[in-house]
Amino acid sequence: MKVQVQRGLSVKLISVSLISALALGLLISALQISSDYIKTRQLPDEEMATLISLLREPATAIVFSLDPGTAHELLNGALRHPAVSMIRIVLADGSVFAQRERALNNADKRLVSDLLFGATRHYAWDLSSRFPTGSELLGRLEVTVDTYHYGSVFLDRMRITLGGTLVYALLLSVITLVLFYLMVARPLVSVIDSIARVDVDSPEKVRLSEPDGHTDDEIGLLVKVTNAHLQTIDASLRHVREAEDKLKRYSDSLEFTVAERTRALSDSVAQLQATQNHLIESEKLAALGGLVAGVAHEVNTPLGIAVTASSVLGDALSDLRSGFESRSLTSERFAELLQVIEDGNTMLGRNLERAAHLIRDFKRTAVDQVAETCCDFDLCQVMNALIASLHPETAKRGVTPRFECPEGLTMRSLPGVLTQVMTNLVVNSLRHAFGGIASPHIEISARQEGARVIIEYRDNGIGVPKELHERIFEPFFTTKRGQGGSGLGLNIVYNLVTRKLLGRLDFKSAPGDGVRFVIDVPGRLPVVHESALSAPVRPVGAT
């Protein structure tokens, strides 16, 4: 590729250097001319002072002796000075004793000289004689000076000075231009030609050569930096090719990975459905039967997003493979498809993890309630898993139970029994407490006091009238008879707390002030009680 310079550095340099040299030369010339002008203005005064020092004594003697012949000879001698245009001797009474003059010079430069120095200058000196009785004035010596003599010399010197400045500026510019071309322009043009010959399709294969004598200067540095950039481009292209190979391998395995995860998710759904059937058949976990459909609905949302993400990944992989095989894949399109794949993969993984988390929490709650195994457990983890599994039911009422618990609070007890207790309390609030409540909420807190754990449950529902407080734990007592209430929920809660968990259950409520349950249980069940953990729980009054 041929590179044409529109305006070379040489032209710019000679323009700048010529203007700079002219400006500097004119400044120096102006200073020289100003100094010369001042000296030239003072020169007539100095020369006339010298002239009078030579003429005063002879002129005084001539006036004293009144010798006209000698006076004319003296004045003729003074008139030989090229600047003197008129000289005369005037007596004390004002009469002219002797006079000599000549016409002013009418040269072409007269006008400029007169503007600078004036046309003439006049000088006068007294002629006096000393006597023992004192000094007596005899007359005056008057001289008229033509300044053109000095002005013409000054103008000639000024013309020479200005001409020398122009010649100096021109020579300096030419010398600068030659040096610049030899030291900068020519090697720089060589580097530019080397860059222009670089193949844009394979820039990594070319390296620039340093001009002779420029290894350690700016041009050599430019060549080194350019070669470093070419080396970086070479490395980047290698990385791109390696990334393309990895992407191809990744795309080949991605479809298999998606299929495996989809199959695993299908197995999880099947397991969830089996768990649902088992829970529905279990009378003790009848309260969880209504939650299964909600959990399945919750799982469908991340599953739908995961299926969509899988479809997007398939389309992106198809476009990537098509572009790669046709060699029309640009770096921008490659980055765009890679971003789509990364985003789709992230979305797929996040939603699969979300579905797995929902299934895991629900499964943990269900298994705990079925097994009733005494074990060590973290109370915060168990309660958070329970709240997550209850979310489909609580969301219908716009309630998000809030649980507060100090970190590290562990118990050795029955996590399944405890979760069944809290499930029945939450379901009881959802069914009975929030009719007409604009902003329902449930608060659960736990704390440890010595060897015992205190769990407090509150809601802001309509509350329970005082006359019903003594009956709420009775079996089959309900205010929703015929509306889905069996009356066994709080009775089961009471029996589980007192018989299984070996604790106490307190209840407080007032109309319009919600309910408050305080569960006081041991942090560690006695060892002798573990052998009876498998015994079934019967409602109060049941046979």
DSSP notation for 504-534: EEEEEE-TTS-EEEEEEEESB--GGGGGGTT
Residue 412 is predicted with a pLDDT of: 92
Enter the DSSP assignment of 498. Answer: I
Residue 511 is predicted with a pLDDT of: 87
Question: How far apart are the C-alpha atoms of 426 and 63, rounded to whole Å?
Answer: 146
Question: How far apart are the C-alpha atoms of 152 and 110, rounded to whole Å?
Answer: 8
Contact in structure between 464 and 424 (CB atoms under 8 Å): no
Domain definitions of the chain by residue range:
9-181, 199-371, 372-543
Strand 375-378 relative to strand 134-146: parallel, antiparallel, unpaired? unpaired
Q: Which of 149, 185, 252 is nearest to 11 (CA)?
A: 185
Provide the Cα torsion 408, 517, 458, 417; round to 10°.
50
* pTM (2 d.p.): 0.37
Residue 451 is predicted with a pLDDT of: 92
Question: How far apart are the C-alpha atoms of 335 and 341, rounded to whole Å?
Answer: 10
Hey, how many other C-beta atoms are within 10 angstroms of the C-beta on 148?
Answer: 24
Bridge partners (DSSP) of residue 452 are 449, 522
CATH architecture observed for domain 9-181: 2-Layer Sandwich (3.30)
For the purposes of burial, counting CB atoms within 10 Å of the CB of 196, is it exposed (0-12), middle (13-18) or buried (19 or more)?
exposed
Question: How far apart are the C-alpha atoms of 492 and 474, rounded to whole Å?
Answer: 10
Q: What order of strands is seen across the sheet that includes strand 84-91?
A: 96-101, 84-91, 134-146, 120-131
Contact in structure between 192 and 184 (CB atoms under 8 Å): no
Residue 278 is predicted with a pLDDT of: 57
For 469, residues 6+ apart whose C-beta sits below 8 A from its C-beta are: 507, 509
The CATH fold assigned to 372-543 is: Heat Shock Protein 90 (3.30.565)
Question: How far apart are the C-alpha atoms of 462 and 398, rounded to whole Å?
Answer: 16
Question: How far apart are the C-alpha atoms of 198 and 208, rounded to whole Å?
Answer: 9
Residue 8 is predicted with a pLDDT of: 59
- Can you list the pairs that 104-112 forms with residues at least 24 positions away whose Cβ atoms lie under 8 Å? 104/146, 104/148, 105/146, 105/148, 105/149, 107/148, 107/152, 109/148, 109/151, 109/152, 109/155, 110/148, 112/151, 112/155
Q: Which of 198, 255, 287, 234 is nearest to 496 (CA)?
A: 287
> What residue type is 250 in one-letter code?
Y
Residue 385 is predicted with a pLDDT of: 85
Q: Which of 186, 180, 71, 59 is nearest to 129 (CA)?
A: 59
Can you tell me which residue has the tokens 């569960």? 519
pLDDT < 70: residue spans in the chain: 1-11, 13-14, 131-134, 186, 193-219, 272-302, 304, 309, 312, 344, 351, 354-358, 360-372, 475-489, 528-543
Residue 180 is predicted with a pLDDT of: 75
- Written as six digits, the tokens of 428 are 């009881």
pLDDT in tens, 279-326: 434 534 454 554 555 556 566 666 767 777 677 677 778 877 887 778
Residue 538 is predicted with a pLDDT of: 43
pLDDT in tens, 95-127: 888 888 888 877 777 888 888 888 888 999 888
Question: How far apart are the C-alpha atoms of 354 and 303, rounded to whole Å?
Answer: 9
Question: How far apart are the C-alpha atoms of 68 and 417, rounded to whole Å?
Answer: 157
For the purposes of burial, counting CB atoms within 10 Å of the CB of 477, is it exposed (0-12), middle (13-18) or buried (19 or more)?
middle
Domains 9-181 and 372-543 share a fold: no
Bridge partners (DSSP) of residue 145 are 84, 121
